[in-house]
Structure 1
């Protein structure tokens, strides 16, 4: 039994929209009947999904152009191919890049030494002009537990945000929030440290982006139920408030180990601000619960901390 997200009707056999993730009754199951957020991706002035049989109907839209480019790639990216999960899905693409980067960190460090690894992947206060590290540091991580924690959050919550805002805007949110979170962390290190040296710790990790994702969902639906440690159901606003409190506390009193609390706070603030923008301009809301087999932010109960490295 579930309630329709539009009319609140109880349904024994509800429909789950694969485009926006919502739950609907028979009267509102069609995308055009529940103001589906996925309609924005179809360039259809009447707001109706094309059947998919007439290629000319979408000849001018960006999705079709992307499909034509993908068709030229000598790898099967179709629904049955090995890259099917990455087709039009930036969440899984970023997850793959995170794990590939983590493997590259290990390989480069083992073969060429830690200094080259840090130059390529670690955003350091002594070298802020290494612009590539603004972004490579988002995908690099400080250990297996670190990357696993961030991966759990992005895997469960990333697709929800991507459905609402679209893949392109989701990618921009992820990269901008991740980069600004890292830059804010090294900025506060520069202010707090009398002398910054090449050996001063830098930052790695996608938790700034992960907390931005949580921030967006907190604004769209603060009552969304998530499972802390896969066991304890809590509203997402409480989880978000907990991270904000912890970050502010350690920034105020110092300490906190090797966790980059300023990066957490900035990523969360960006997500909250962007979530408010989306809500005001598109009038959308998140579903009342997750439909991932009872999953939630999982593992450690939330994002693996963006690490000083």
Structure 2
């Protein structure tokens, strides 16, 4: 039997699918709100929310888009970092992205309605930023091209009236770029 080249990526995809279908099957809005990241994080001390919210999605389309992107950038990231470093980076960086996104929405949308932050896109943009910075470090045009993709996926849905946590995309991208710049060897150094 062939060995999976990216077992952690496939495990994350399965975990996202299980979380989505589990919550959907249970028809529990309360559970969805408990596992998303929202004001309950502070009011009810749901300290698990920055982690669980990465695996919650707002609908089948949201899940599908994120899982396609996770397969693409997750597989490349896992091959580049190695399975152990990849899973630690994804979880720790994803939680950090969610916490910083929560801080942003807490202050920026102070008088707004209840906001429930869900989805893996911030963590996925973090992987994308890490790959762009560590692999494309010398090709500025390509790096800006990848950044343009993040801008497009952040703002085009807004033009169509779809709520998107655009700030999570940019926070994740920034964390990924900073991680690559300060903690990873560049691709050319590895190949020497």
CA distance in structure 1 between the partners assigned to 2:66 and 2:111 by the alignment: 31
**1:123 maps to which residue?**
37
Displacement after TM superposition at 1:284 (Å):
3.1
Is there any run of 5+ residues in structure 1 with no aligned partner, and where? 1-78, 224-233, 251-255, 286-309
1:136 aligns with 2:52: yes
Query: Could you say what secondary structure the match of 1:204 adopts?
Result: coil
Q: Which has the higher helix share?
A: 2
TM-score (norm 2): 0.80
* CA displacement 1:229-266 (0-9 Å, x = unmatched): xxxxx94640323425875x89xxxxx75211221111
Matched, 1:238 2:145: yes
- Paired residue total: 182
**Which piece of structure 1 moves more, 210-219 or 275-284?**
275-284
- Contact 2:9 2:70 survives alignment (8 Å): yes
Distance 1:156 1:194, change over 3 A: closer
With a CA cutoff of 8 Å and minimum separation of 6, indicate the structure with the bigger relative contact order: 2
Offset at residue 148 of structure 1 (A)? 1.0
Contact 1:134/1:183 (8 A) holds in 2? yes
Alignment partners' CA distance in 2, 1:194 and 1:210: 27
1:222 equivalent in alignment to 2:136: yes
Q: Structure 2: any 5+ residue segments left out of the alignment?
A: none
Deviations 1:168-206 (A, max 9, x none): 11111111222122222221221123457xx61111101
**Counterparts in 2 of 1:88 and 1:156: CA distance versus 1, 3 Å:** closer
* Alpha-carbon distance between aligned partners in 1 of 2:83 and 2:23, rounded to the nearest angstrom: 27
2:185 counterpart SS class? helix
Are 2:53 and 2:119, in contact at CA under 8 Å, matched by a contact in 1? yes
RMSD: 3.1
Secondary structure of 1:279's aligned partner: coil
2:108 pairs with one of 181, 189, 192:
192
- How much does 1:160 deviate? 1.8
Give the Cα separation in 1 of the matches to 2:150 and 2:67.
17
1:213–1:176 Cα change, 3 Å: same
Q: Distance in 1 between matches of 2:166 and 2:179?
A: 20
Larger radius of gyration: 1
Q: Taking structure 1 as reference, are residues 106 and 280 closer, same or farther at Cα in structure 2, changes over 3 Å only?
A: same
Residue of structure 1 in register with 2:94 after alignment: 178
Q: Is the 8 A contact 1:178 1:207 kept in 2?
A: no
Secondary structure at the aligned position of 1:283 is classed as helix
Q: Retained in 1: the 8 A contact 2:134–2:187?
A: no
Q: CA 1:150–1:116 in 2, change beyond 3 Å: closer, same or farther?
A: closer
What TM-score comes out, normalization by structure 1 length? 0.52
Deviations 1:27-79 (A, max 9, x none): xxxxxxxxxxxxxxxxxxxxxxxxxxxxxxxxxxxxxxxxxxxxxxxxxxxx3
Shift, 1:140, TM fit: 0.9
